[in-house]
Chains A and B, each alone.
Chain A
Amino acid sequence: MKRSRWYYVSLGIVYFFLLGPFLIIFAAAFGEESTLSFPPQGFSLNWFANVFATEQFIYSFWTSLQLGLLATAIALILGTPVAYALTHFHFPGEGLVETVFSLPILVPGLVIGLSMLQFFVLFGKFNIVSGLLIGHIAILFPYAVRVVSVSLRNLDPSVEEAAINLGANRLRTFFLIVLPNIRAGIAAAFILGFITSFNNVPVSVFLSGPGIQTLPIAMLSYMEYYFDPTIAALSTLLIIFSIVLVQAAERVLGLSQFV
Chain B
Amino acid sequence: MLEITDLRVEYEKGVPTLDHYDLTVHSGELVSLLGPSGCGKTTTLRAVAGFVVPASGQITVAGRDVTRIPPNQRDIGLVFQSYALFPHLTVAQNIAFGLRMRGVRGSERDRRVAEALKLVDLEGLGGRRPAQLSGGQQQRVALARAVVIEPQLLLLDEPLSNLDAKLRVTMRTEIRRLQQRLGVTTLYVTHDQIEALAISDRVVVMNQGRIEQSGSPEEIYKQPATPFVADFLGFENHFAGTVTAVQNGETQLQAAGRSFTAIHADHDLNPGNDVWVYFRSEAAQLAAAPAANSLPVEVLLRTFQGSAVEYVVQSAQGEFKVRMPEDQLRFDPGPAHLLLNPQQLIVMPKT
Chain A binding surface SS class: helix
Residue numbers in A under 8 Å from B145 (CB-CB)? 162, 166
Q: Which B residues touch A158, using CB under 8 A?
A: 80-82, 84
Annotate B132-158 by CB proximity to A: 1 below 8 A, 0 otherwise: 000000000000010001000000000
- A163 — which chain B residues lie within 8 A by C-beta? 86, 97
Contacts of A252 in B (CB 8 A): none
* Contact yes or no, B101 A161, CB < 8 A: no
Residue of B nearest to A179 (CB): B88
Which of A159, A162, A164 has the largest number of chain B CB atoms within 10 A? A162
A172 nearest CB neighbor, chain B only = B101
Known: A166-B101, A172-B101. A161 touches B80 (CB 8 A): yes
In the complex, B73 has a CB within 8 A of chain A? yes
The chain B residue with its CB closest to the CB of A183 is: B88
Say what secondary structure dominates the interface of chain B.
loop
Residue of A nearest to B102 (CB): A167
Q: Is A102 an interface residue (CB 8 A)?
A: no
Q: Are A166 and B98 in contact (CB under 8 A)?
A: yes
Is A69 at the interface (CB under 8 A from chain B)? no
Give A244 Cβ to nearest chain B Cβ, in Å.
27
Which residue of chain A is the closest to B98 with respect to CB atoms?
A166
- B76 close to A (CB within 8 Å): yes
Which residues of the other chain, A, contact B88 by a CB distance below 8 angstroms? 180-181
Q: Shortest beta-carbon distance, B80 to chain A, in Å?
A: 4
- Interface code B43-69, partner A: CB below 8 Å = 1, 0 otherwise? 000000111000000000000000000
Q: Interface size for chain A: under 10, 10 to 19, 20 to 34, or 35 or more residues?
A: 10 to 19
B106 part of interface (Cβ distance < 8 Å): no
Q: Is B149 within 8 A of A161, CB to CB?
A: no
Q: Are A162 and B84 in contact (CB under 8 A)?
A: yes
CB distance from A253 to the nearest CB of B (A): 16
A177 touching B86 in the complex, CB below 8 Å, given contacts A166-B98, A166-B149: yes
Give the residues from 76 to 113 in chain B that come closer than 8 angstroms, CB to CB, to chain A. 76-78, 80-82, 84-88, 97-98, 101-102
**A166 CA / B88 CA spacing, docked (Å):** 16
Q: How far is the CA of A164 from the CA of B86 in the complex (A)?
A: 12
The reply to whether the CB of B215 lies closer than 8 angstroms to some CB of chain A is no
A169–B51 CA distance with the chains assembled, in angstroms? 13
Does A25 make an interface contact (CB < 8 A)? Answer: no
Which residues of B are interface residues toward A (Cβ below 8 A)?
49-51, 70-74, 76-78, 80-82, 84-88, 97-98, 101-102, 145, 149
Q: List the 10 closest pairs (A to B, CB-CB), nearest first.
A: A167-B101, A166-B98, A158-B84, A162-B84, A180-B88, A158-B80, A165-B78, A159-B84, A164-B72, A164-B71
Q: Which residues of A pack against B, CB within 8 Å?
A: 156, 158-159, 161-169, 172, 176-177, 180-181
Q: List 22 A-B contacts (CB under 8 A).
A: A156-B82, A158-B80, A159-B84, A159-B85, A159-B86, A159-B87, A162-B85, A162-B145, A164-B71, A165-B49, A165-B71, A165-B76, A165-B77, A166-B72, A166-B97, A166-B98, A167-B72, A167-B101, A167-B149, A168-B97, A181-B87, A181-B88
